[in-house]
Amino acid sequence: MKFLLSLFYIFLIVSNLINPAYSSDIAKGKELSVSCAACHGDNGISLNPVWPKLAGQNPKYLASQLYEFRKGAEGNRNNAVMYGIAMTLSDSDIEDLSAYYASLESKVGLTQDKYLDLGRNIYRGGNMEIKIQACISCHGPNGQGNYAAAIPMLSGQHSQYTYQQLKNFQASVRSNDYNKMMRNIVHRMTDEEMKAVASYIEGLY
């Protein structure tokens, strides 16, 4: 697994060198974000926990998701609402929006007491008996992700949203994870384990 992770990072870093990102305009991104605020909040902090917080998120990750949404049914993260929005965005719009949300201050929530121990154990140590890789190995000890490899920041994310994404990966409804990395992990997880790690992440900082 560590060897595959190393190859993954090298692949993404080389890809970024070959295809450098656009020069982003945060001010333009803020203008574009007006249409996003209804769901994701004025400052990138969504009030509805089924919609993700975007504030402080890795801009490379945000851009990659918008590009995937823009593919619609032909992509690996098909969502009718996000497709309708993303299809109106140019490449530069996507880069500007991503830079804007990345510039905002994130907000951490709380971990439910009943999920603290189990969630922390899975996030930090995984479950080697059934080969569940620890979340910390990709997303970092504080959930900040990996900028160069476009791995998302998880710290403070709504637990309901995180749980739903884990379920989506498990059912392959969402399949835009490189080399099936997330799907290979979550298909072994129980519902309780997914809820626990999602709750732990919400209070992680």
Does a structural domain hold residue 9? no
As a whole number, mean pLDDT of residues 64-76 equals 97
Q: CA angle, 114 as apex, 108 and 119 as ends, to 5°?
A: 60
CATH number at residue 126: 1.10.760.10
- Which residues lie below 8 Å from residue 42, measured CB to CB, with a gap of 6+? none
Same domain, 98 and 127: no
Residue 202 tokens read as 């919400």
pLDDT at 23: 76
pLDDT at 1: 53
- For helices 191-202 and 159-170, what crossing angle results, to 10°? 140
| pLDDT tens digits, one per residue of 112-133 | 999 999 999 999 999 988 889 9
> How many domains are there within the chain?
2
**Would you state the pLDDT for residue 131?**
85
- Asked if the structure places residue 8 within a domain, the reply is no
SS (H, E, C) the chain: CHHHHHHHHHHHHHHHHHCCCCCCCHHHHHHHHHHCHHHHCCCCCCCCCCCCCCCCCCHHHHHHHHHHHHCHHHCCCCCHHHHHHHCCCCHHHHHHHHHHHHHCCCCCCCCCHHHHHHHHHHHHHCECCCCECCCHHHHCCCCCCECCCCECCCCCCCHHHHHHHHHHHHCCCCCCCHHHHHHHHHCCCCHHHHHHHHHHHHCCC
Of 80, 103, 126, which residue is a domain's last?
A: 103
| Residue range 55-68: mean pLDDT, rounded | 98
Residues 93 and 117 in one domain: no
**130 and 164 co-located in one domain:** yes
Query: Domain residues for 164?
Result: 113-202
Mean of per-residue pLDDT scores for the chain? 91
Report the C-alpha gap between 181 and 184 in whole angstroms.
Answer: 5
Give the rounded percent of residues in the chain with a pLDDT score beyond 70.
89
Is 2 among the domain residues?
Answer: no
Could you tell me the pLDDT band of residue 10, with boundaries at 50, 70 and 90?
A: very low
pLDDT in tens, 132-168: 999 999 999 999 999 999 999 999 999 999 999 999 9
